[in-house]
Amino acid sequence: MNCLIVQKLLQLYLDHALDSVERGSVERHVASCGMCRAEFVRLERTVLAVESLARLPAPGTLYLRTMAQVRAEHRSKQASSPRYIALSGLTAAAAFAGLALILIPLMDLVFNLGDFILDSPATMLEALLAMSVSVEASLVAGSALLLTAGSAAVLELVKREQASQPV
């Protein structure tokens, strides 16, 4: 190992975060290199000095205040992101298109019902069949769009609810 690599590994060595092969390599290098040995001693003294300091308890509200600030910053960034704005617009457009695809053909069906001559049950059945075939595709497409928009909105609400929960 060279000095640059060893010096980057010294803190991990002191934290016992290296595997046995890396630990052995660092120990051999430090034993043979005066510069790295001096750096190791300096770092070890610093760690021991920090560990000897009295531990002060954190204020009781520190966690809650920190998490509230993190959530607020996350919501602020998320709400102003182009992706969020685009998804909101697409969700609204899908919902509007879905409603239009469902309501317009149904309104046409109701308004044009008087145009059919319904003098017998067979004629009435033919009229209803013709109208239902023309309306069915719009209903399916509209329902799919509404389902998509609703699902996107529910997923966004769930994501926001999870983001607001304390960890």
What is the spatial distance between Cα 45 and Cα 158, in angstroms, rounded to a whole number?
49
Which residues touch 64 (CB under 8 Å, ≥6 apart)? 166
Sorting pLDDT into bands at 50, 70 and 90, what band is 136? low
44 and 87 assigned to the same domain: no
Listed ranges 50-54, 86-90, 125-129; the one with the highest mean pLDDT: 50-54
Amino acid at 163: A
pLDDT at 127 over 70: no
127 and 77 assigned to the same domain: yes
The two structure tokens encoding residue 94: 């899908």
What is the spatial distance between Cα 115 and Cα 49, in angstroms, rounded to a whole number?
94
What is the spatial distance between Cα 20 and Cα 33, in angstroms, rounded to a whole number?
20
Q: Is the CA virtual torsion 48, 50, 52, 58 positive or negative?
A: negative
Q: How many domains does the chain have?
A: 2
100 and 147 assigned to the same domain: yes
What is the spatial distance between Cα 13 and Cα 95, in angstroms, rounded to a whole number?
58
Residue at 57 is within a domain:
no
Which residue range(s) make up the domain with 10?
Answer: 3-52
24 and 85 assigned to the same domain: no
What is the spatial distance between Cα 117 and Cα 127, in angstroms, rounded to a whole number?
9
68 and 37 assigned to the same domain: no
79 and 152 assigned to the same domain: yes
32 and 74 assigned to the same domain: no
Cβ count near 95 (within 10 Å): 17
List pLDDT tens digits, range 64-87. Answer: 888 888 888 877 776 667 777 777
Residue at 128 is within a domain:
yes
Q: Tell me the residue length of the chain.
A: 167
80 and 111 assigned to the same domain: yes
List pLDDT tens digits, range 89-120. Answer: 777 777 777 777 767 776 666 666 666 665 66
Residue at 147 is within a domain:
yes
Name the nearest CA neighbour of 152 among 101, 98, 77: 98
Q: How many CA atoms lie within 13 A of 139 on its CB side?
A: 11
List pLDDT tens digits, range 22-49. Answer: 999 999 999 999 999 999 999 999 989 9
Q: Provide the pLDDT for residue 39.
A: 93
44 and 68 assigned to the same domain: no
9 and 82 assigned to the same domain: no
Q: Provide the pLDDT for residue 163.
A: 66
35 and 68 assigned to the same domain: no
25 and 101 assigned to the same domain: no
Q: Provide the pLDDT for residue 60.
A: 85
